Structures are given as structure tokens and as C-alpha cells.
Amino acid sequence: MEEKLIVIGLDSAPPSLLLGRFLDQLPTIKQLSKEGMSGSLSSCHPPITVPAWMVMMTGQDPGKLGIYGFRKRKPGTYNEVLLPSSHDVKEPKVWDIAAEKGLRSCVIGIPPTYPPKPINGCLITDFMTPGVDREYTYPPQLKQEIQKLIGEYIFDVTFRKENRDEVLQGIIEMTEKRFKVAKHLLQSNKFNLFILMEIGLDRMHHAFWKYFDKEHHLYQPGNKYENTLLEYYKLLDEKIGELLAAVKGGYNVLIVSDHGAKRMKGAFCVNQWMMEEGYLKLRKEPKVVTPIEKADVDWSRTRAWGWGGYYARIYINLEGREPNGVVKRSEYESFREELAESLKNIRGPNGERWETKVYKPEELYEEINGDPPDLIVYFDDLYWRSAGTIGHYGNYLPENDTGPDDAVHDYDGVFILWNNEGNIERKNLNASIYQITPTILQLLRINPEKHHKNPPLPL
């Protein structure tokens, strides 16, 4: 019998909620996990949506891919930002390998897949797509089919804003439209591999975490959004159930998340700290909060600076690499060590010790491509995000510096593997994001050892 697989990606789903706190109220997820194999799925470094989904779809780490986050530097500049695109992914994806065997795939929402590239099947691009006025499907005519079915497709929503009712309404509409398109494509075509990634869960975590988590420093008992996150999980469970019911069996099912989520304790102003320590020099300090890329930096006297985000990217102003580099190559390693130790020794706002992790790229990756940061920093084990802006009154912010945001990323996502014939051994185990590509290939009866060194899940 021809093998068929549905992969459903739930961005940032943590095991503590999907397989724990909320599980009894999610009948579809509960049945799949009870009848199949499930557990935590350790993410890559950094545990960020981009590159984590493409790590999962290629089996290669961020160093090999040369993708380290949502943004990348324009070559020859300090802080001019470009977005990763499908052109940056040089490694074969699971659907490329499947196509070599004559298998058809449908891919929806995996980043980065914009602009769309040809596929043996169909593709809808991801949340970084500039807009519906662009070509976002392959084949191109699929765009008209989608518009006829649901009207305007929604790639993403603005979730960092105060009007949470608008955020919630937008996320629900986006999710319902995406699943309607997925159901339509699944019912009207024959695919061996069907991949759907829903970004809405990540947006819900960032917008609504403080309303349900009693340990969050901004939690208020009895607030109107106390059960909002649970209700969205229930909506996802319902939509997944409808999607699987529409194909009436015949497919194996793999549910995965790229990383986890947890409460945000605050944001640490990494560039203000750099200024205090003498690593970053300005010609003129701003009177208002200012992004580092708009600040009047004196690069002739600056030795290091940072980028904000759920982790900090630290760059050294290296001679011969940066436009006005000042750190000599002979001093690079000793300075990097000094900087790493200084970052590790940063304490919290009340003098408490932090569990800050600082990595050099070569400690994480066998091969390094693209433009990696010189240091990768997880402030207090990711509980504190990195604020790249300057001009604040202090280095510790109670919230994100680029708009309301309640959650940060965590290392462990989830996986659930269910076999339509019921012959997968029921077990709970811990797995790695690097096992997903070989698992998908094995489920499609493609020898994973020809393509990857990592083992599949124990099927």
C-alpha cells in the first residue's frame, strides 16, 4: 500500500500544555497521543521559528543552513536587515527528496518558503510573505483557487498591540481560513506528503500568556482572557479533528512543534549594557528610545554590539570583516572570551544570579555558513529576552521593547506520531528535532540513511 503522511506543525506548542495541562480538554490530541507515540522534541540552537522549521524539514542544523533567525545582515553593513527567503535554503527539503521518488507533496506555511519554488504538488508560502498581492503559491493558479474559496488569505497577524480583542479575532480568522484551505486541498488532490504549519499558536502565546499563567509577573486574577489560550487550543484540536476526519483514515499523522514557550520575565537592554561596559560607543546619545540601527554609533571606537530578540546575537567589530572593524584578528579570541564571561556574569534586577547561556557558533555547529553572530546568548536561560534598543532609564524592562509580548521561547517542543494501522508501539519518549526529517522519509518508505546521519524515531 502506498504510504501517506500528514504533518501538522503547531508553532511553539510546549509539552507542558499540549501534552499536560490542556490535554484532557483536547479529544483529538488526546486520542492520537494515547494510541501512538508522543513526547518532548528538543529544538535546535537557537530555538527560534526561523530556522527551526527548516531544520526540521532538512535535518540540517542552522550552521549548515546559514540561517540564525528571522533577520540577517545585508552584506557589508552593520545593521541593515534582510529577511531570509527560500533562496537561502540550499539543502534538500523532505518534499524535494520525496519528489525524486515520484511522490507528491503539499506544503503550507513552512518558513522560509517565500518566494514559492516549484514542487511536485503544491505550496503556499509562510508568514514572512510580504502580502497577498505577491505570488505566494505554486502552481501560481492555486492563488485564484484560494481566493475563490476563502477570500483574502492571511499569512500572519500583528500580535504586539494593546487591543487584544483585535489580536484574538485576527488569529482565529487566520487559523480558520488556513485549515479550510488545507481541508480543501487534501480532499481534492492526492498527496503522499501533506504538511501544514499553523503560526497562530505562537501568536497566542505571545499575546495571551500573562492572562493564564499565575507565575507571570503581570498576571491579574479574574481577567477576561483567563481561558482564552485554552479556548484556542480547543479550536486547534477541533480543526485538526475535522482535517483528519475529512480524509477518512489512510494517512499516518505526525504532529510537531519547532520549540516550546514559557513566561517572559522581562527584557534586558543588551546594547545599553554594552555602552556601560565600554564596548559600544556613540557619538551622541539619544533622548528617546532608539533602535541600534538608527543610533549614531561611533564604529571607529566600538568593539561589540548586539541584536535584540528572544536570544541575543552579539557581533564583534572585527578588522577586515566589518566596514570599520577595530578588533584585530590576533585579539579576536581573547576578546570574545572576555565578552562571553562578562555576559555570563550579568545578574538580574535584584542582584539575583541568572542562568545565562553563552555559545560560540563553532561549539554548536559542525559547519558554519552565512553570517553567524560571534556569540549566541540566552539571558537567564531564555526567560529574559534581549532588547536591542537604547535610551531606556535602566537595563531591565518589565516587558518587550518592541510592543506587548508575554512569552519567550523554550527548548522543548512536542511530537505525536500516530499510525493509521495502529501498529506503532505506544510509548512516551524524548526526541530531537533532527529526527523528524529521517522519520518523515522512513514513513514514506524512503531510506533515511542515504540522506541523513540522524536516526528516525523508533517506529
Contacts with 218 (C-beta within 8 Å, 6 or more apart), sequence order: 210, 398, 399, 406
Mean pLDDT of all residues in 407-417: 98
Which pLDDT does position 1 carry in this prediction? Answer: 52
Q: How confident is the model at residue 19 (pLDDT cuts 50, 70, 90)?
A: very high
| pLDDT mean across residues, the chain | 96
423 pLDDT higher than 70: no
User: What percent of the chain is modeled with pLDDT above 90?
Assistant: 92
Do the beta carbons of residue 125 and residue 116 sit within 8 Å? yes
Quick count: other Cβ atoms within 10 Å of Cβ 362?
11
Q: How confident is the model at residue 247 (pLDDT cuts 50, 70, 90)?
A: confident
| Tens-place pLDDT, residues 292-312 | 999 999 999 999 999 999 999
Do the beta carbons of residue 123 and residue 194 sit within 8 Å? no
Do the beta carbons of residue 177 and residue 114 sit within 8 Å? no
Of 250 and 22, the one with more pLDDT: 22
93: closest CA among 52, 50, 131, 58? 58
| Tens-place pLDDT, residues 257-288 | 999 999 999 999 999 999 999 999 999 999 99
Could you identify the residue written with the cell 522519520?
Answer: 439
Distance CA 409, CA 262 (A): 6
List, in sequence order, the alpha helices (H) in 131-163. 142-150
421 pLDDT higher than 80: no
List, in sequence order, the alpha helices (H) in 1-109. 15-16, 27-35, 49-58, 62-65, 94-100
Which pLDDT does position 320 carry in this prediction? Answer: 96
Which pLDDT does position 175 carry in this prediction? Answer: 99
| Amino acid letter for position 171 | I
Q: Where are the domains of the chain?
A: 5-264+409-450, 266-404
Fold classification of 5-264+409-450 (topology level): Alkaline Phosphatase, subunit A (3.40.720)
Do the beta carbons of residue 142 and residue 125 sit within 8 Å? no
221 pLDDT higher than 60: yes
| Tens-place pLDDT, residues 384-405 | 999 999 999 999 999 999 888 9
Which pLDDT does position 427 carry in this prediction? Answer: 74
Q: How confident is the model at residue 149 (pLDDT cuts 50, 70, 90)?
A: very high
The model's pTM: 0.97
424 pLDDT higher than 80: no
Q: How confident is the model at residue 422 (pLDDT cuts 50, 70, 90)?
A: low
| Tens-place pLDDT, residues 48-81 | 999 999 999 999 999 999 999 999 999 999 999 9
| Amino acid letter for position 42 | S
Give 271: exposed, middle or buried? Use CB within 10 Å, 0-12, 13-18, 19+: buried
Which pLDDT does position 419 carry in this prediction? Answer: 87
- Cα distance from N-terminal residue to C-terminal residue, the chain: 17
